[in-house]
Amino acid sequence: MQPSRPAMDATYCVRHSADVDEHAGHLSSWRQEYDQLSCGHFTGTVRELWLHAPRLQVFHEFTDQQTSQRCRPWPGSVWFGIPDGLGEGLVHFCGRLQPGERPRTLMAARADAGFVLRTPQRFGIYGVVLDEDWLAARSDALGLEPLLQGRAEVCAATLSPHRHVALCQTIESMLALGASDEAAQPWGLRAMHILGGQLMQLLARCGDDAALQGPPASAQRRLAQVMAARDMAADPFNHLLSVEDLCARLHLTPRTLHNHFLGSVGVPPAEFLRSVRLNACRRRLRGTCAEQLHVQDVAAQWGFFHMGRFAQAYKELFGELPSQTLRLSRQAAPLSA
């Protein structure tokens, strides 16, 4: 991790990670929980810039593995996300598949609602987070309709190629300026505010391309049931629950639950929930109490009672044995004490 460097009223930093759970904590002032879904060593990077007047956070996030993400930005804010279009793969936002394998989508969510993403491998996304009251006042001053109408909590719209490129390039220019020595100079700060104003103009006029629309109530209900099943699987006290047991608790047929998972996160329930349980094991093995843990005990908490199969499945997903995770966690413990 490179140290944060203030530039008058701006702060820039870069954070790298080799674990999905560690990566989830790298956006400042956010609350997030990530699960890794595809197999292999994880690498992730966050480049983040804060402007403090107005309170504005812009970033680019990269993850090389498929992930399921539950995200909540800082209170009182509204988030806008724009996939950078450099990678390929399907993106699910709040239970809805976004069009195309390189979606040119503007996604938005109020902080109180949070949002859910299911991302492909080698996925990059630009993010803009700002104070919602300030954004509303700015839109009103420009004579534009608010981007988030009425009670809408989450919504998305397809951008024109021109608007998508302009947004990505503007955010990238802000991040590049933040990373440079010129950001600390008066002319650098003026350039930053010019870019920030350009960004606000672009966001405020995204409605010229297509109206931001929220997911239908049926999609929201499906996603809520999928996330409820995910939370049950992540709880160590539910390690004996089968998919059939989950169906009974959620009052769904197996076919309905299967369709809900495919529609909301693009993965069958058994495969998704197995990954959730393996991620839960990894979080425990990497936790602060690693010195007192045994791999067998952790595996059993989430229903893995055959150690050979557990070790094989764990290594296939994360690229290392559970005993390696535990050993590395113990070695790092004195450094963090």
How do residues 97-156 score in pLDDT, each as one tens digit? 998 888 899 999 999 999 999 999 999 999 999 998 888 887 777 676 666 666 578 999
Give the model's pLDDT for residue 99.
87
Q: Is the pLDDT of residue 238 over 70?
A: yes
What distance in Å separates the CA atoms of residue 92 and residue 267, rounded to the nearest whole number? Answer: 11
Could you give the percent of the chain with pLDDT greater than 70? 92
CATH number attached to the domain at 5-208: 2.60.120.10
Where do the structural domains in the chain lie, given as residue ranges?
Answer: 5-208, 217-336
Q: Is the pLDDT of residue 49 over 80?
A: yes
pLDDT tens by residue, 265-282: 999 999 999 999 999 999
Other Cβ atoms less than 10 A from the Cβ of 153: the count is: 17
Give the model's pLDDT for residue 8.
46
CATH number for the 217-336 domain, one of 1.10.10.60, 3.40.50.80, 1.10.3720.10, 1.10.10.10? 1.10.10.60
Q: Which residue has the tokens 């009251």?
A: 133
pTM: 0.91
Alpha helices in the chain (DSSP H): 20-24, 132-141, 161-179, 186-204, 217-234, 243-250, 254-265, 269-285, 295-301, 307-318, 322-336
Q: Is the pLDDT of residue 335 over 70?
A: no
Rounded to the nearest 10 degrees, the angle between the axes of helix 243-250 and helix 254-265 is 90
Give the CB-side neighbour count of residue 66, counting CA atoms within 13 A: 17
